[in-house]
Amino acid sequence: MFAATNQHGIVARALANNLYQLDAINPRDFTSDNYRRIDDKTFGGGPGMVMKIEPLELALAAAKAKQAACGVAKPVVVYLSPQGKRADQELINQLAQETGVIFVCGRYEGVDERFIQRNVDLELSVGDFVVSGGELPALLIMDAVVRQIPGAMNSQESVECDSFMDGLLDCPHYTVPRDYQDAKVPEVLFSGNHEQIRKWRLQQSLWRTYQRRPELLQTRKLTKEESRLLSEMLAKSQD
């Protein structure tokens, strides 16, 4: 699953350019029985299996040793779980500042709670839903983090203009053709007036955020300009 990350898109290009390193460690390599079992029945009864603490801790020790060999003294250990803190752009930006991160991907009913208590620095969720394992959520977080590494994107401005980077959703974007089956691109984008274009994009971001994610505006202090631009859109919507 993680090998696919090395072969496509921005994440693959950043890896090829040595902007980050990636190792995938299989806990099954740290089992002692012939069946390489990493899970067992949950104490107290109930459905499903639980990942055992011993192979997980041995795998984690191996991951930390690899990080240490790269000069990372204390990597952040992240466990992907629907019970964790909801990941957002602010948290992604914080992870991007770390010198090393270890993602622990659970399966089945989860992992032995003692492993979490003894080893995990941050428990993260990518949404209020359950998937079969932590690998896909880890890939999502990785992709978001790698985008923040200087040089990963062709244009740093693309990163800075992403949704959530300034607390707002991104504005709409258009490309050729200018007129498609009577659906036209807004004329302001052809005006050549960069200030007008900036204001239009900001206003669209504000309006889109107000319509789709109004809670984001409750935690963001709007500037005078932003308040005016949003008020203009509210007035137009009531006409």
pLDDT digits (tens, 9 = 90+) for 102-137: 999 998 889 999 999 999 999 999 999 999 999 999
- The number of beta carbons lying within 10 Å of the beta carbon of residue 24 is 14
Report the half-sphere exposure of 59 (CA within 13 A, side-chain side): 24
Query: pLDDT class for 6, splitting at 50, 70, 90?
Result: confident
Residue 154 inside a domain? The answer is no
Are residues 22 and 91 located together in one domain of the fold? yes
Provide the whole-model pTM: 0.82
Label the pairing between strands 39-41 and 49-51: antiparallel
Q: What is the CATH number of the domain that holds 203?
A: 1.10.1270.20
Cα–Cα distance measured from residue 213 to residue 168, given in angstroms and rounded to the nearest whole number = 9
Are residues 126 and 32 located together in one domain of the fold? yes
Residue of 27, 55, 82, 137 with catalytic role: 82
Q: How do residues 54-110 score in pLDDT, each as one tens digit? A: 999 999 999 999 999 999 999 999 999 999 999 999 999 999 999 999 999 998 889
Are residues 43 and 125 located together in one domain of the fold? yes
Is residue 140 left, alpha or beta, with left meaning phi > 0 and alpha meaning psi from -120 to 50?
alpha
Domain tally, the chain = 2
- Domain containing 175 equals 161-238
Residue 213 inside a domain? The answer is yes
Cα–Cα distance measured from residue 56 to residue 97, given in angstroms and rounded to the nearest whole number = 26
CA 205 to chain centre: 21
Cα–Cα distance measured from residue 68 to residue 59, given in angstroms and rounded to the nearest whole number = 14
* Identity of the residue numbered 60: L
Q: How do residues 150-159 score in pLDDT, each as one tens digit? A: 999 876 655 5
Q: How do residues 227-236 score in pLDDT, each as one tens digit? A: 999 999 999 9
Are residues 29 and 135 located together in one domain of the fold? yes
What SS3 state is found at 171? coil
Residue of 109, 123, 170, 226 with catalytic role: 109
Cα–Cα distance measured from residue 65 to residue 73, given in angstroms and rounded to the nearest whole number = 9
Residue of 57, 143, 162, 170 with catalytic role: 162
DSSP state, residue 176: S
Query: pLDDT class for 237, splitting at 50, 70, 90?
Result: very high
Q: Are 126 and 92 in contact, with CB atoms under 8 Å apart?
A: no
CA 22 to chain centre: 16
Residue of 13, 37, 107, 147 with catalytic role: 147
Q: What is the CATH number of the domain that holds 142?
A: 3.40.1280.10
Among the listed residues 132, 65, 127, the one whose alpha carbon sits nearest the alpha carbon of residue 105: 132
Cα–Cα distance measured from residue 236 to residue 210, given in angstroms and rounded to the nearest whole number = 14
Residue 107 inside a domain? The answer is yes
Q: Are 104 and 111 in contact, with CB atoms under 8 Å apart?
A: yes
Q: What pLDDT does 145 receive?
A: 95
Q: Are 19 and 12 in contact, with CB atoms under 8 Å apart?
A: no
Q: What are phi and psi of 219, to 5 degrees?
A: -105, 10
Q: How do residues 159-190 score in pLDDT, each as one tens digit? A: 555 556 678 998 999 999 999 999 999 999 99
Of 146, 180, 214, the position where a domain reaches its end is 146
Q: Are 77 and 85 in contact, with CB atoms under 8 Å apart?
A: no
Residue 35 inside a domain? The answer is yes
Q: What pLDDT does 177 receive?
A: 95
Does residue 29 have an active-site annotation?
Answer: no
Does residue 186 have an active-site annotation?
Answer: no
Does residue 162 have an active-site annotation?
Answer: yes
